[in-house]
Amino acid sequence: MSWTVDNIPDQTGRVAVITGATSGLGLVVARELARAGARLIIGARDPGKASATIDLLPGTGHSTYPLDLADLDSVREFATAVRSGHGRLDLLINDAGIMAVPRTLSAQGYELQFAVNHLGHFALTTGLLDRIDGRVVTVTSVLHRKGRLDLDDLSAASGYSPTDAYNRSKLANMVFALELHRRWEGVSVAAHPGYARTGLQGSVPPGLYRFLLTRIGNPLVAVSAARGALPLLYAATAPQVASGELIGPGGPGEMRGAPKALVPAPAAADPEAGRRLWAVSEQLVTA
């Protein structure tokens, strides 16, 4: 199957909320959705970058509100602002993320990668869910297949590996998308870009892992952000996408290729893991 941005259906009249839209994959997704006619609501920590992104988008009627996914108070304020200005939403794309950072705690005391990549998006999704009449796309990673979902040490006090914490957060994204599919009448889809060249790898602290990603992986294996964004755009817009699917590149190792439906890791498809993650997340965001 071949699928490009030219296959995106007309998005005129649709309202889409997106995180991570000021750079990388999110910027490509926002631009192409706007080009197809959608109105974008962008959440970002940096108001200057958010405004600059709005200026880059085709069309009119786009808006932005402050959003720091590492702070659940900020997530609640963003959701309140969106709800007050928009009675109906068609699409939420949970794209923002951080990768393999040193051990840091969020404003509420949770390990930062779990807090930003999963918990902030959980709070955002549940805070807007009754307004969404369409799809929620949660961006995961092929590395969710290497993750281990340890919910008993969310501050990583007993030992911390930046890569293990990232893999755990991406597994949590996948588990969440499938549990949302079980609980919600709308369409919950997970998507991953394969191996795409974005600023994400450059945020990894200096060392062997960063060297492998940026000096070897990026030039030899990675695809452009424009190509990496295709599975996300397919998940967000293709009429044939079904709730509960994982969309990613169909090529070798899920690194590159045209978007297609993939099989999630067995650990992600476990309904008990979904139930437990949801219960823990709900407790944390309402604490």
Report the catalytic residues.
166
Nearest to 167 by CA among 182, 146, 187: 146
Chain position carrying tokens 């393999």: 100
Q: d(Cα 226, Cα 221) in Å, to the nearest integer?
A: 15
Within 13 A of 276's CA, how many CA atoms are on the CB side? 12
Chain position carrying tokens 């709900």: 282
Q: d(Cα 93, Cα 231) in Å, to the nearest integer?
A: 12
Burial of 244 (0-12, 13-18, 19+ CB in 10 A): middle
Q: Do the beta carbons of residue 61 and residue 236 sit within 8 Å?
A: no
Q: Do the beta carbons of residue 221 and residue 228 sit within 8 Å?
A: no
**Longest Cα–Cα distance in the chain:** 50
SS3 215: helix
Nearest to 139 by CA among 90, 92, 204, 70: 92
